[in-house]
Amino acid sequence: MNLNRIAVVAAKDLRLGPRSPIFLWVLILPVLLTLVLQVAFGSLFDPSPRLGVFDAGESRVTQLLQGADGIEVQVVSTAAEVKDLVQAHDLDAGLVLAADFDRMVADGARPPLELYVAGESQAADRMVLSVTVLDAIRSLQTEDAPVTVNVVGVGDEGLPIAVRLIPAIVMYALMIAGVFLPAFNIADEREHQTLDAMVVTPVKLAEVVTAKGLVGFALAIPMALVTLWLNDALGSRWPALVTVIVIAGLMYTCIGMLYGVVSKNIAGVFTLIKGTGIVLLGPAIFYLFPDWPQWIAKLFPTFWVIDPLYRVSVENASIGDLAGSFAVAAVVIAVVVVGVAAGVRRLRSRLGST
């Protein structure tokens, strides 16, 4: 194959791409999916727990609360105003500290704690605010607490559903760019009979198919990274993350090229993708239901790129941890490439006979 001819065909597709609704859909999809799923399941628009504090004596507790992560603290001028704001649900909780609160706690006097809670506040917000307030007050004591409480999450059950949806969102973006775009472009060329003209030019059919796949791959990689960034899942393992995205993009692009050469027209591409969508995205469903037998997900060929993506973006895995998955993914890609080559030979013979 001639790299220069491949580059010319790919550049032409990139130049004319914005005219295609499929091309524009590739660019819009990551933002649209993230917006819909984060609004439905995530915390994109959920405010942090809101705490109002009336401090009559410049307590150290107020300073500690203002420096705490994950909550919003508003200092209020009067105790009555705290109560009014909580009743109006402008605050999730309100705290009133007496003028000599710190001294009484340090002396072991056990002063009363006025903590008002809004009736419409979420239970999780109440718990967060209560624990944060008690932890700040405990720091005023001169003696160490008899126990130390460590909150430890066990398993995937504690992960928010928005986090467990990340593999599905990213893989859907990869599928549109890597599978749908090359397949659609190849089938469109075939439907408009422009491939017939190419068989009598210096440009070979294999070079055209490769160029279509290259365009899909070039868009799939940044779209996957943008999707991860929008969902705050880039993590800190950049070498591992980029490696996973490249391998996943390559697998999905090869699948798209295969779909393109075996489909007679655009309708055939739609039918093929609808019929095999569960194979492409099926493993992502198992992250939503961790109680399901996870070995079933390993039967799907795309599991070997979806699982590494999840482990890097959510569990912060390294490249060494993913070596086995990469090996299986390489085998899957090689099998698909063989299928693409066979499909190109079959398509060439059909075009040559017409």
Please check whether residues 33 and 92 belong to one and the same domain.
no
Q: 24 and 92, same structural domain?
A: no
- Per DSSP, 49 falls in state P
- In this prediction, residue 65 carries a pLDDT of 87
Whether residues 60 and 29 fall in one domain: no
Residue 308 in any domain: the answer is: yes
Residue 249 resides in a domain: yes
Do 231 and 134 lie in a common domain?
no
In a domain, 146, yes or no: no
Domain count, the chain: 2
- Check residue 248 and give its pLDDT: 93
Determine, yes or no, domain membership for 144: no
Residues 171 and 218 in one domain: yes
229 and 94 share one domain: no
132-151: pLDDT as tens digits: 888 888 777 655 544 444 44
Contacts of 170 (CB under 8 A, 6+ apart): 224, 227, 228, 309, 313
For residue 257 the two structure tokens come to 């090229």
Residues 294 and 188 in one domain: yes
Percent of the chain with pLDDT over 70: 88
pLDDT of residue 199: 64
The residue type of 313 is: S
Q: Which domain holds residue 185?
A: 3-41+160-353
Q: Is residue 223 part of a domain?
A: yes
pLDDT one-digit tens code per residue, 246-292? 999 999 999 999 999 998 888 888 888 888 888 888 888 887 777 78
Claim to verify: residue 116 and residue 258 sit in the same structural domain: no
Query: pTM of this prediction?
Result: 0.67
Q: What is the pLDDT of residue 335?
A: 96
For β-strands 50-55 and 114-117, DSSP reports them as: unpaired
Please indicate, yes or no, whether residues 171 and 305 belong to a single structural domain of this protein.
yes
Question: Among 104, 138, 172, which residue terminates a domain?
Answer: 138
Q: Is residue 191 part of a domain?
A: yes
Q: Considering the domain boundaries, does residue 153 fall inside one?
A: no
Indicate whether 31 and 56 sit together in one domain.
Answer: no
- Which residues make beta-bridge pairs with 53? 75, 95
Distance CA 226, CA 40 (A): 20
Q: What is the CATH number of the domain that holds 60?
A: 3.40.190.10
In a domain, 236, yes or no: yes
Per-residue pLDDT at 323 exceeds 50: yes
Q: Which residues contact 350 (CB under 8 A, 6 or more apart)?
A: none
| Domain identity same for 213 and 327 | yes
Residues 6+ apart with CB under 8 A from 270: none
* Whether residue 332 is found in the same domain as residue 210: yes
Containing H/E element for 100?
none
